[in-house]
Amino acid sequence: MNSAHVTGQSRFLDDIPELKDTLHAVVFGSPVAHGRITGADLSEARDLPGVVAIFAAADIPGENQIGGILPDEPLLAEEILHFRGQPVFLIVAGDAHTARQARSKIRLQYEILPAITDVEEAFEKGAFLFPPRTFRLGDVDAVWKDCAHIFEGSAATGAQEHLYLETQGAYAVPLENAAMKLYSSTQGPTLVQRIVARILGLAMHRIEVEVGRLGGGFGGKEDQATAWACLAALAAWHLHRPVKLLLSRHDDLYMTGKRHPYRSLYKIGLSEDLHILGYEATFLQDGGAAADLSPAILERTLFHATNSYFIPHVKATAYSCRTNVPPYTAFRGFGGPQALFVIEAAIAQAAESLGIPAHKIQEKNLLAEGDEFPYGQRAEAPRARACWERAKAAYDLPLREKEVEAFNRQSALLKKGLAMMPICFGISFTKTPMNQAGALVHIYQDGSIGLNTGAVEMGQGVHAKLMEVAGRALSVQPSRIKMEPTDTNRVANTSPTAASSGADLNGKAVQHACTQLLQRLLETAGKMLQSDPATLEIRGERVWLSGRPGDLTWEALVAEAFLQRVNLSAQGHYATPDIHFDRALEKGSPFAYHVYGTALVTATVDVLRGRYEIDRVEIVHDFGNSLHPAIDQGQLEGGLAQGIGWLTLEEVRYDAEGRLLSNSLSAYKVPDMGSAPKEVRYEMLNAAGPPLAILGSKAVGEPPFLYGIGAYHALRNAMRAFRPGLHLPFEAPLTPERLLLALYPSETDPL
């Protein structure tokens, strides 16, 4: 996609040439999951040649508070330690190696307090991060008596490590006028600006945050990039020298939060003809040691409790439990995947008990136009069913089923399974005020264009999409446009690039700026050509008069506009119209639109070895009018692979003392080419995108992650082809180890 990446020219945080006198920092993290600090001996560390300073909570000039939603998280621990790896001291030295050596010489004294690392224990003890919430539709308690079939069960999904290629970090440079410039590997430059200002006790205008690009974020840098920027800023503020803090992979793995694990209970009721009449779910979210983004993630779990189904009677309740591990945080899907796993488990249990394929139930209950979600919004045009029908036809579900049956009849040690996986994902930040963006567009005298927005490029291709938007708005070649780094001094008060909304929100702001510029240029052209501007347009870098190309070129027009002293810069702003949500009622219309799709997943299990392969994933996805098909394909495939990884291979493990066991890439398996599906096919749903999607091109960053759940069910069905009465709890990840143990539950159980 980006040739600068391939040729090694792209500059990430650690590639920024260091200024003279730059110092390097490392963080001393809590060695216990829960404890009380009783003292510390820093003398040996301080005496190490090259060590410049060691900072603690008492050195924070402003407020020692980095909580983004709730104020419950200190930047540096004061008295109580809440998780292993929680920052306690910041060691600054001439080079990172010396700082790390000094770290090993710090002697922290503490009393160990009892730690909770189990979400159910936290729930039983009433250890919550914030109050629970419930979404309701109809009257679920009254509907059970009308149900022909009722099933109850539990489901659990694990954590997930982001494993962005570029670890967390920041570079802080003190400026004159008590100001500071930060280069930060963050999805949320404004959030970094706001919290650094709070930590230093400065006004926001003293803090500038610049982000060139990230080597991946995946949600891990939506909130959790802030602490590292604050720490670098703290040291730079005291020492009046530039300070760089870049986490080692090991520090990043054990100090930062991951996707929330959930344990959930469900109850589902169906009519004789397989309509889901009632659904009740109770979600226990493991929030870790501080709220971080958990309130918003918990909310999205509730929004997606019923996936792409219409269920008339629903009650969904979610609790966020406090445990002594790093605060869990945003990760692609943001609580949505956890919710979809539970409803799909409920449907699978019903299907298995009734002896029918799950797709019979799924198909019966897909959302139709105008159906109400439990939160009050109505489903748009019947896209859920359109994707389903098209997938079923294009990939020939009946034939695939026959193939799988035929294979299983003749194969003893390899078994195949398939699953259909419909998805639905709401697009917008669920916190309405976050749905705004800004742009600043400069046209230079030579006709070239500088494009500034609040969008952070993290590999998802938002910059290429925004250049395309500007190019189309001004009708110029993309080569005329240069994307500038994201910088809070140029576009202020931005939301993090998240919720898959980067291109929509920033793209609409770009359009707003470009419309103003176009209007001014057409007025100039009108004067030059002595024509009514209303009869003019710019097409393909040329002024057209009444629908015909003229001689006036883009470059000549811009040059003249400059001489006429026309303002060639414009600021654009966009706020998604019409969305709202009332938290007192838990009702509203929070999303600009929903993204739908359906995947058909086929998998093969080696029942002797527990190994498996995902043979094929065939998708019909609701892209709208894709603005950039190559990028959208990348997002579809990348999201899918990450989703499959979450459900199959990736297993985050903490021990009872809150120690991360999966703390290296030898203990934590991420998907690679070997575990990728052997074949991925997709089709774009042939339906125009909605007006709130940028140029009709629907948000694509997160939704494809959800298809991964289909891989879990395809594997489960393959296992059931081997052992029809198999007892397999709905627990992910379904690692080869877990799969094999489930196939052979006890030593006395013969093959």
**Cα angle 463, 479, 445; round to 5:** 105
Q: Are strands 612-621 and 593-606 parallel, antiparallel or unpaired?
A: antiparallel
State yes or no: is 702 an active-site residue.
yes
CB of 114 to ligand LUZ, least distance (A): 33
CB of 299 to ligand MOS, least distance (A): 13
638 binds, among ligand MOS, ligand LUZ, ligand MTE, none (CB under 5 to 8 A by kind): ligand MTE
CB of 691 to ligand MTE, least distance (A): 18
Tokens of 749: 């159980």
What is the enclosing helix (H) or strand (E) of 526?
helix 502-529
296 binds, among ligand LUZ, ligand MTE, ligand MOS, none (CB under 5 to 8 A by kind): ligand LUZ
Tokens of 55: 């900072």
Strand partners for 247: none
Q: What are phi and psi of 376, to 5 degrees?
A: 100, -25
Exposed e or buried b per residue across 620-645, where buried means at least 16 C-beta atoms within 10 angstroms of its C-beta? bbbbbebbbeebbbbbbbbbbbbbbb
The 8-class DSSP code of residue 690 comes to P
Does residue 499 interact with ligand MOS by CB under 6 A? yes
CB 614 within 8 A of CB 688: no
- Which positions touch ligand LUZ (CB under 6 A)? 222, 296, 300, 330, 334, 429-431, 434, 498-499
Does residue 459 interact with ligand MTE by CB under 6 A? yes
- Interface residues for ligand MTE in 695-734 (CB under 6 A)? 699, 701-702
Identified catalytic residue from 702, 731, 737, 747: 702
Nearer to ligand MOS, 216 or 736 (CB): 216
Nearer to ligand LUZ, 334 or 707 (CB): 334
CB of 495 to ligand LUZ, least distance (A): 8
Among 281, 216, 292, which residue's Cα sits nearest to residue 256? 292
Nearer to ligand LUZ, 12 or 334 (CB): 334
- Using the rule CB under 6 A, give the single segment among 48-56, 126-134, 348-356, 499-507 that binds ligand MTE: 499-507
- Interface residues for ligand MOS in 192-231 (CB under 6 A)? 217, 219, 222
Nearer to ligand LUZ, 46 or 431 (CB): 431
Would you tell me the crossing angle of helices 708-722 and 629-648 to the nearest 10 degrees?
Answer: 40
- Using the rule CB under 6 A, give the single segment among 326-334, 364-372, 471-479, 586-594 that binds ligand MOS: 326-334
d(CA 484, CA 507): 14
Does residue 330 interact with ligand MOS by CB under 6 A? yes
Nearer to ligand LUZ, 499 or 570 (CB): 499
Among 107, 108, 123, 258, which residue's Cα sits nearest to residue 660? 258
Tokens of 441: 């567009």
Does residue 458 interact with ligand MTE by CB under 6 A? yes
Tokens of 370: 């105008």
Does residue 692 interact with ligand MTE by CB under 6 A? no
Among 161, 135, 131, which residue's Cα sits nearest to residue 224? 161
Among 603, 720, 644, which residue's Cα sits nearest to residue 349? 720
Does residue 187 interact with ligand MOS by CB under 6 A? yes
Task: Select the residue interacting with ligand MTE from 219, 327, 382, 572 (CB under 6 A).
Answer: 219
**Rg value, the chain, Cα:** 27
CB 589 within 8 A of CB 580: yes
Nearer to ligand MOS, 408 or 506 (CB): 506
CB 84 within 8 A of CB 658: yes
458 binds, among ligand MOS, ligand LUZ, ligand MTE, none (CB under 5 to 8 A by kind): ligand MTE
CB 266 within 8 A of CB 154: yes
Strand partners for 209: 182
635 binds, among ligand MOS, ligand MTE, ligand LUZ, none (CB under 5 to 8 A by kind): ligand MTE
430 binds, among ligand LUZ, ligand MTE, ligand MOS, none (CB under 5 to 8 A by kind): ligand LUZ
Site residues for ligand MOS per CB under 6 A: 187, 217, 219, 222, 330-332, 334, 498-499
Q: Which residues bind ligand MTE (CB under 6 A)?
A: 216-219, 332, 458-460, 462, 497-503, 635, 638, 699, 701-702
Q: Which residues are identified as catalytic?
A: 702
